[in-house]
Amino acid sequence: MTQQKHYPHHIDLKPVMHVEGVVRLPGSKSISNRILLLSALAEGETKIVDLLASDDTAVMLSALTALGVHWTQEDLGPDAGVHQVHRVRGAGGAAGVAFPNHKADLFMGNAGTAIRPLTAALAVIGGDYTLHGVQRMHERPIGDLVDALNAVGAQIEYTGNPGYPPLHIHKGHITAARLSVRGDVSSQFLTALLMVAPLMARGHDVTIDVVGELISKPYIEITLNLMRRFGVTVEQDGWAAFTVRAGQSYKSPGTIHVEGDASSASYFLAAGAIAGGPVRVEGVGRDSIQGDVRFAEALEQMGARITMGDNWIEAKSSGPLKAVDLDFNHIPDAAMTIAVAALYAEGTTTLRNIASWRVKETDRIAAMATELRKLGAEVEEGADYLKVTPPAVIGTAAIDTYDDHRMAMCFSLASLDGAARRGNTIRINDPKCVAKTFPDYFAAFAGIAHDNLI
Ligand SMILES: O=C(O)C1=C[C@@H](OP(=O)(O)O)[C@@H](O)[C@H](O)C1
Ligand SMILES: C=C(OP(=O)(O)O)C(=O)O
């Protein structure tokens, strides 16, 4: 993959006495992969500024190449790294969307934002496609999406275990005007169907009904917002039904800019809240379309001082953090950062309504509980919750990361010196997993870390 850095087998983080500084965030994963697919489905060429460069976007770009979609990355010479520019030539037109290659084998790594929407797009467009990923991808559910599509005439077959990738997509025939999909395992299934609804709404409206409680709702807002930028509006009946009127199709917006990643912001903001600050992240703020900016509210409830502009957020400490007891269904990714920040809070922090953690990069409830306990925390783990009571002083430990970028990034925070609860030397095993969304994470973390104890 293009983003491989030369990472060692492990990284040892010395105790950090103080954090301060400004971090320019990498592009949002959720926005990047949505924009790439929408650009490919649209009519016209889209210029994308500041696309995330990471494993998850690399697999999406490779898939577009395999499908025959033409895209380029501009060589900006000395400006490279300041602003990234990609151009994608859309495969949409008056006759619908036609990818040049009708047969392809697509490796999707462990990118949910790639495999789920692409499965829907390829099932609707039709062809002879196989989609597969890393071993963990083959343990992450996709059955609700496949059921929704096959029920209306798609031809998607499981070539491994039923309900999971790998998949083989054959040419189906979808004419239905109404589909239904479960919303309680992953919101990405609804996102996938929404993104392809205009491809189905040829000559008739298409309505998608959501069965069961929809989780991770702010990600649906990102989907709807970006569809609008590409010229398609969706009528919403609460969170229960979504209708795309007949005759709409995606058109390139010309140039589109990718915001900084709000989930990636959470580690730096938490660092500022724990160990002095101020730490400012640039690239997300009040104007963001990402639900994870609401991480700042949770941090504020823990006692951090937060300030926000249109395109930046800043966090600093204001005395010891306090424990919180909150529902984190709306911010499942950034919520992991709260679980580690809880090491520095007075009292027991409870994270509720996080069952989806169990089907992400790893079983994140189990992994989080195991690794927090290594540092001396008392942890109670339930089917959909976690309770974290911090130790008096954080222990030293080698943290296993389970090929989960967020485990590696979150646990870097345990090296911080926060209030009376001194951080410690922390070994992060297999740190290269951060390449899924943030290949330069440890360099960015080192950039705000000061007065490291040798
Ligand atoms: O649509 C998206 O971009 C995402 C949705 C969320 O997944 P779930 O809907 O499975 O919770 C989130 O955890 C993931 O990192 C990105
Ligand atoms: C759950 C995540 O990823 P994915 O997009 O693969 O679901 C994540 O990035 O935390």
Omega cis (within 30) before 390:
no
- In whole angstroms, give the CA distance from residue 14 to residue 32: 34
Point out the ligand 2 atom lying closest to the alpha carbon of residue 333: 10
> Which stretch of 79-93, 177-191, 212-226, 396-410 has the lowest confidence by average pLDDT?
79-93
Ligand 1: list residues with CB < 6 Å: 30, 112-113, 186-188, 191, 215-216, 219, 332-333, 356
Q: What is the mean pLDDT of residues 136-145?
A: 98
Question: Residue whose CA is closest, atom 3 of ligand 2?
Answer: 112
**Confidence at 46, pLDDT banded by 50, 70, 90:** very high
111 lines ligand 2 (CB under 6 A): yes
Tell me whether residue 203 is exposed, middle or buried, using C-beta atoms within 10 angstroms of its C-beta: 0 to 12, 13 to 18, 19 or more: exposed
State which H helix or E strand residue 193 sits in.
helix 188-200
- Given the CA of residue 437, which atom of ligand 2 is nearest to it? 9
Task: Report the pLDDT averaged over residues 4-30.
Answer: 91
What pLDDT digit, counting tens, does each position of 390-402 carry?
Answer: 999 999 999 999 9
Give the tokens for residue 114. 């790639």
pTM: 0.97
Of 72-76, 276-280, 371-375, 401-405, the one with minimum mean pLDDT is 72-76
Amino acid present at 117: P
Predicted pLDDT at 2: 44
CA distance 187 to 453: 43
Four-point Cα dihedral 81, 85, 91, 96, nearest 10: 110
Residue 112 Cβ < 6 Å to ligand 2: yes
Residues whose CB is less than 8 angstroms from the CB of residue 442 and which lie 6 or more positions away in sequence, other chains included: 11, 412, 431, 434
ipTM of the complex: 0.99
For residue 80, is pLDDT > 60? Answer: no
Encode pLDDT of 336-363 as tens digits.
Answer: 999 999 999 999 999 999 999 999 999 9
User: What does the pLDDT read at residue 1?
Assistant: 44
Mean pLDDT for the stretch of residues 433-452: 94
Cα 117 versus chain centre, distance: 14
Residue 423 Cα to ligand 1 middle (Å)? 31
- Among the listed ranges 81-95, 113-127, 343-357, which one has the minimum average pLDDT value? 81-95
Residues tagged active-site: 333
Does residue 34 have a known ligand-binding role?
yes
Q: What does the pLDDT read at residue 384? A: 98
- Provide mean pLDDT across the span 280-299: 98
Burial tier of 161 (Cβ tally within 10 Å: 0-12, 13-18, 19+): exposed
Number of the ligand closest to the Cα of 32: 1
Nearest protein Cα to ligand 2, atom 1: 360
Q: What is the mean pLDDT of residues 30-36?
A: 98
The pLDDT value given to residue 77: 60
Structure tokens at 435: 């390449």
Tell me which of 219, 362, 364, 436 to substitute to probe ligand 1's pocket, judged by most ligand atoms within 8 Å of the beta carbon: 219
314 close to ligand 2 (CB < 6 Angstrom): no
**Ramachandran angles phi, psi of 81, nearest 5°:** 90, -20
Q: How far apart are CA 245 and CA 206, in angstroms?
A: 7
Return the pLDDT at 3: 46
Mutation probe of ligand 1 site: the residue of 38, 188, 191 with most atoms within 8 A of C-beta: 188
Minimum mean pLDDT among 4-13, 83-92, 312-321: which range?
Answer: 4-13
Q: What's the alpha-carbon Rg for the chain, to the nearest Å?
A: 22
Helical ranges in 55-172 per DSSP H: 55-66, 112-125, 143-150
Question: How many residues in the chain?
Answer: 454
Ligand 2 pocket test, pick from 34, 138, 190, 333 with the greatest ligand atom count within 8 Å of Cβ, gives 333
Domains and CATH numbers, the chain: 10-26+260-452 (3.65.10.10), 29-257 (3.65.10.10)
